[in-house]
Structure 1
């Protein structure tokens, strides 16, 4: 069966393609198709534009992971627009192509993020939670992103929207950006540290996308987070413990705001998100707790075996 994956050269896309390439014929939509071929080899096809796809109905499924990195740059008005357009544009185009096809793909999986929920304090956020945050940029971004994707739902095409938490990996993830202070023995909580931190291990992220692809009963919105969200202070302390480093340097909220501007709200506020629907469908996480995930991401194999 044939898959079309947008954003396939990103962190999640790369992991997913490595999992699926033996069982599916994969076409990657990438702004740098040569880079995609170098990364995956000639067994994976690469296109630079959706215009190169003659009939989207040739694909069994479309997986949409494309988007400008939300934390790559400070949120100027120009950068906000780039973040929006990089997600909304491709999602709108894919949905329109699916709607216009006489034999559309059977599955459309599209990204979103837990920023949809905004600052919810200690409230447990399942997919059923009703959220209205009209002035919140992250919520506006995700709400429109999801609306565009869900419009592709039909009797012929089932749609899954995936609200992703902070992805943890051995390389290239947000975790690596957090590490320098800890490696210097200066790690500590951000702001109050009481805000919840919802995360997911990269391996589980790819596995759950594969699960949604292959489970015919799955459709609608799913939280892509591990089942054990923790307060940021606890997550920070766990990093220090796994690395055997001290943990005492709290970063004040005002410093975060000065450094990152509006983007700092993503780190200073949080969401206590749980993957209720995935668990109801029978998905099991290989890395359910921060300790197991951080050991896998931060320690060499020999050290991980000794600590178990």
Structure 2
């Protein structure tokens, strides 16, 4: 009997790749979706905004992977957008908690996404899973913290729960990399802000492999940082990307005020410095396919 995995946010950047990898590894996969017909996987309907969910969904699953949340990197952070970023996460997680509390299911594992944004801007200080969340006036930190608190009831039910604090995911399909690569391709690349801020990145395949290992190995419990073991400064990142793309870096640094003008508060994602430790994940025996930045970037842009 193959094990059944229910994924929320299964059409997002990580969910799409993770579903493929789970199928390849012999799992059955179903998605929770607001628009169920649009995928090649079995899907169950839910609507976190209105608090509705197909009762068969949670009963289907041996494992739940909770990735659903409105993207933080698309569109300016208007008040409405910020509300959506927060409620899409809390609403979906709350629905799953409500269903799990009813019992009559066989869910053994609950994996839930969070983000390294929880640490706020920590300059060049190394932060670990033990580091307390940044104050709530930091929007991204507050979102991640609230999201993690929403998962606590699952742990209290005795279900093995793993929270994965995801770093900057590298992929050409979305996330931070395409907008950083675009100006470099056009010979207009530059470091952003001071260039000294740390970026804790992870290759898309590694984050998916990490989720799979957390699913398969019962000793994973609690909070883990999903970041490669070698974070780099924004300046180093930009230089490595230009080198891999065989383009010169011609511009001086893009000043922080310019980024704030274009991106508004969302510039925090790029300007905050986060030097996040991967030690806890490495101690589980997990091996990164891409522990270093340049090979990770070459996997996407090496043939250009």
Equivalences for residues 1-308 of structure 1 within 5 A: 1-22=3-24, 23-37=26-40, 44-49=41-46, 51-54=53-56, 56-154=58-156, 156-249=158-251, 250-300=253-303
Shift of 1:180: 1.7
Q: Distance in 1 between matches of 2:134 and 2:71?
A: 24
Shift of 1:248: 3.3
| TM-score of the pair, normalised by structure 1 | 0.92
Shift of 1:274: 1.8
Report which stretch shifted further, 47-56 or 141-150: 47-56
| 3-state SS, counterpart of residue 187 of structure 1 | coil
Number of matched pairs = 295
The 8 Å contact of residues 168 and 174 in structure 1, kept in 2 or not, is answered as yes
| 3-state SS, counterpart of residue 221 of structure 1 | strand
Consecutive unaligned residues of structure 2, counting only runs of 5 or more, are: 47-51
Consecutive unaligned residues of structure 1, counting only runs of 5 or more, are: 38-43, 304-308
| 3-state SS, counterpart of residue 7 of structure 2 | strand
What is the RMSD of the two structures over their aligned residues, measured on CA atoms?
1.5
Shift of 1:151: 2.0
The 8 Å contact of residues 55 and 99 in structure 2, kept in 1 or not, is answered as no
Report which stretch shifted further, 91-100 or 215-224: 91-100
Shift of 1:126: 1.0
The ranges of structure 1 where at least 4 consecutive aligned residues each deviate by more than 6 angstroms after the TM superposition are none
The 8 Å contact of residues 96 and 152 in structure 1, kept in 2 or not, is answered as no
Q: Distance in 2 between matches of 1:30 and 1:155?
A: 25
Shift of 1:21: 1.2
| TM-score of the pair, normalised by structure 2 | 0.93
| 3-state SS, counterpart of residue 89 of structure 1 | helix
